[in-house]
Structure formats: C-alpha cells, structure tokens
Amino acid sequence: MQFALNEDQIAVRDMALAFAAEKIAPHALRWDEEKHFPVDVMREAATLGMGGIYIREDVGGSAMTRFDAALIFEALATGCPTTSAFISIHNMASWMIDAFGSDTQRQKWLPKLCTMELIASYCLTEPGAGSDAAALRTRAVRDGDTYVLNGQKQFISGAGGTDLLVAMVRTGGDGPGGISTLVIDGNTPGVSFGANERKMGWNAQPTRAVMFENARVPVTNRLGEEGIGFKIAMAGLDGGRLNITACSLGGAQTALDKARAYMKERKAFGKRLDEFQALQFRLADMAIELEAARTFLWRAAAALDRKDPDATMLCAMAKRFGTDVGFEVANHALQLHGGYGYLSEYGIEKIVRDLRVHQILEGTNEIMRLIVARKLIEGAR
C-alpha cells in the first residue's frame, strides 16, 4: 500500500490544482448561475492530458493510472465539482472505447476524444431503469448493416452538448445478457434531446433525456460482441465511482478551507469562532473524516490499478463512504458559516448542492451497500 505520493504524483496533482485555481474556481459561481457548460475550459484541461487520463498513448491518451485520476479529479473539484465530474464522465465513456473497442474504432474516435474536440456522454439510465440497470428497454434491432434504435435514456450528463453517446441498448432478450454497447453520433437522424433539466445542483453541465426514434446506427459502432454491454457498463462504473468520490472530496476540501478561513475572521460573544472548543472539535472531525475517505479512495484506486479481485467491492465501499463524507463535510461547513453560508456569494451552498447528487449517481449509495453485502455473503459460502 502507498501512503505517500511520489514526485510524479505530486506534480500531477499540483498541475490540476493550479489549473482549477486559475481557470475554474474564478468562474464556478457564474457557470452555476448561468447554467453555462464550459467546453472551452475543458478543452484547455485536455491540452494538459486530462481529456484521456487513462487512455493508451497510441491514440493520444495520457496512459496514467486510476490512482493518478483520483488525484486529478479531486484537485479539479476544488475549483468546481460539477466541471470535474463531467470531465470524469467523458473519461469514463472514452475509456470504454479504449478498453473494448477494435483498433479501427479506437483510431476513429479516441484521438479527438483525448483532445476533447469530441466530447462523450455515458448513456445507461432510463426512465424505468435506474438502480436496476439490467432492466433497460431501449431496443436496437439489427437491419442489415445497421441497428434501428427506439427508446429513451434519462438523466444523461452533457446530453445535447456532446458529440458522442456511448449507450447501452437491448439487442437480445431480457436481463444483462441481452445488452450491447453502441457509440452513437449525437447528430444521427432520429436522435433527439429533452429540455435541460432544472436541478438542485450540477448546473454547469446540461442534463437531458435522450430519445431514439428509428435512429439508425452502423453495426460497426458496436463495442465488442453482442451481449457484453452490461459487462462494459459495469467495468466503466468501477472507475467512475472512484472519480465521483474524488470529486466529492475536492469539493468538501474547499468547503473545509472556506470554513477555517471564516472562523478566523468571524467573532461571536467577544471571541473568534476558532477559539470555541466545540467548533474546534467540529472542524477536527471534518478533517478526520475527509482524510479517512481520501485514504480509502487511494486504496480502492490502487486495487483497481492492479486488478485486485476485490476491486469492485472496494470501489463501491469507497464511493459509499467518500460521497457521504464529502456531503456531510460540506454541510457542516455551511453550518459553521451560519446565515452567510446560505448566501450564494460565499460559494458554500453551491458545493452542498453539487455534492448531494454524488450519493445518487454512478450507482446510489444503497446499491453500493448491496454490492458489498453480496460480495461478503458470497465469500462466506
């Protein structure tokens, strides 16, 4: 196990921290208020290798580790969790092409995905299939050299503002064995998008439904064989869960830092807030929980890198623990600000709103418990 970063990892983290401080943080509140999708800034991040963090080098990727990615996404999230989370989703969708696509497919899409000239969305959830993803109903019927798609995806990050949709669709019978993965051009006739959802947080990235109405997609756009789409989707989610945990910790760290600074300035009953022992203990607990979650994240990322048999369980554990901790730390930071924490100009309420959804997406935290429980029960047999 690794409990200290080496020089290369420190350099990667510091690069992402500097980018977040200069290019993201000064604009995060405005992006949230205006519901602005900062594609230009994300493309700047891609010039530093953050558009294809763990994509192979032959197609322009950075070929870094999941551990490196955790450092990067936490650092970016100190500027804006929403922006960092979308770059994570783009990386997850791109990795699925890199890991399961043919060389022709990789060469076709990944060079432009790594520069974020093309931007990708991940399409799994449907109106009637959220936690029970294997029940998805979007149907792809083969007709010669194409699939004809009909159905709808829901809660798709970036939809309407991205170029490619990496979508899980049903090409066979019921259950996970009937699901395949298609890479779909967002401009394909028969593909349409719903209105940008009005959300509690994550306003700096659009979230829309994606509708397929007799949309024709070439069979050559399928990743791997028919029937392995659910496996592809779940493999992508292991890393996605680490990334969203990292985004939670980055946002929470900023909230904690803001609370520390505020407590040095604000006085009550003739004393600074940081002189009250009860509030000192609250601050200490926040820091302890955050560091515990970070250590857990690093362990899970290292396990995924080495393909540990328990990696999926550890990713689920880290996601459940880290996203819960991230939200609670941010919420406590708001409380320490008192009424000022509720005002948008202090930036705390945005972090609270942004981090709340992390306990739901990439698999709800209830599903994380289910994954862990199943692994424990299977191991006991």
Enumerate the active-site residues: 362
Please name which of 294, 372, 219 lies closest in space to residue 5, comparing C-alpha atoms: 294
Name the amino acid, one letter, at 55. I
**SS3 (DSSP) at 227:** coil
Beta strands in the chain (DSSP E): 120-123, 139-143, 146-157, 164-170, 179-185, 191-193, 207-218, 267-268, 271-272
Helix 229-265, helix 348-356: angle, nearest 10? 160
In our burial notation (b when 16+ CB lie closer than 10 A, e otherwise), range 294-333 reads bebbbbbbbbbbeeeeebbbbbbbbbbbbbbbbbbbbbbb
Instruction: Decide the pairing of beta strands 120-123 and 164-170.
Output: parallel
Best CA proximity match to 80, nearest among 320, 254, 333: 254
Among residues 380, 327, 295, 315, which one has the least CA distance to residue 3? 295
